[in-house]
Amino acid sequence: NMNQNEIANLLGVSRPLISKYLMEARNLGVVKIEINDLLTSDNVEDDLSERICKKFNLKDIYIIPSSTNKDLNDQMFVDYATEYILGTFKDNFLLGIGWGSVIGAIIKKIDNFEPKRKLIGDVVPLISNAPISFRNYHTNELVRMLAEATGLNAQYLYAPVICSTPSEREIFLNTDNVKGVMDMYERLDYVVIQIRNFPSVPDLATEARFEKKLHQEKAVGMLLGYYYDINGNVIQSDMDYSIQIPIDSLKKAKKVIGIINTRVNSTAAIGAINLGIFTDIIISDNVAKELL
C-alpha cells in the first residue's frame, strides 16, 4: 500500500524509475490491477436498504460503499452521489440546494463533465451565504456554478444568513428578493441537503445565537443553519435571526435528498432522519449499518 514516492525512498532510487518498473510489471503480467463494481458486491446488502427505509419511513436509500483510504472514499462517495442525484431529476423542475463540502464537490464534478449534462428548470439556494471564506458555503456561488454547468436558471438569495437583530431580519424578509425566494420554497420539486455533525466547522455564531442551549438540549447534528437533537427536534432560540428555508417548507418539497457521508456519525444521521423532512438518503455503508 505504499505510494511511488515511498517505494523510491525505501529503495534509494527515483520516483520516475519506480513508475517505469510498475508499468513494465503490468505489461509482463507481474502486477495485475482489477476494478470491482463495489455497488454490486456483498458490501451493500439489499435488505439493509429495505430495513432502514421501513424503520425511518423513507422512500429510498442509496448506500455507497466506503473505503479505508479517506481520499478514495471521499471521491467515490461524490462520484456515486452525483450520478444518483442527476438520475432523479426530470425536466422543468425547481431545485433547492444547501451548502457544504460534499455539495460543493458534487457541483464541481458536474461542472467538469464532458459533454455537459443539460437540465431544464430553476435552482435556488436554501440559505444565504455564510460569512466565511470557504466557497462551499457561498450558496449563491454554488447556484451560479450549477446553473452555468447545466443550463438551469439561477435564482439568488440576497440577504445575510445571520442578522444581528429581529428588526434587521424583518427588513430583509420584506424585500422583493427574499419574498420571491420564500415563495419558491413553497413549491420545490427537489431539495439536496448535506447533513453534518455537531459541533462542526464553520460554527455559524452558535454562541451568539444559542448561548448554551445547543449543549443543554443535546444537539447532535446540523443541516443548513438548523441544529437538532437525536429525536429530530429542532433547537429553537429567541436570539436566532437567521434567514433560510423554513422547516415546514422543506416538508412540502416533493423529494428531499439528505447526504450523509462517512464523516457523519450515526447520531447526527439518526437525528436528521427523525426530523421527518427527508424522502431519500444517500449514505456511506459504514454509517448505514449503524442506523439499525
3-state class percentages of the chain: helix first, strand second, coil last, to nearest 5: 45, 15, 40
Domain 37-288 has CATH 3.40.50.1360: yes
DSSP line for 82-142: HHHHHHH--SSEEEEE--SHHHHHHHHHHHH-SSPPP--EEEEESBPPPSSS-GGG-HHHH
For the ranges 8-22, 82-96, 176-190, 213-227, the lowest mean pLDDT is seen at 8-22
Residues 211 and 197: their CA atoms lie apart, in Å, by 18
Over the stretch 163-187, which tens digit does the pLDDT of each residue have?
999 999 999 999 999 999 999 999 9
Question: Residue 87 corresponds to which cell in the numbers above?
Answer: 438520475
Domain boundaries, the chain: 1-33, 37-288
pTM of the predicted model, to two decimals? 0.83
- Calculate mean pLDDT across residues 208-233: 95
d(CA 73, CA 64): 10
Give phi and psi for 79, each to the nearest 5.
-60, -50
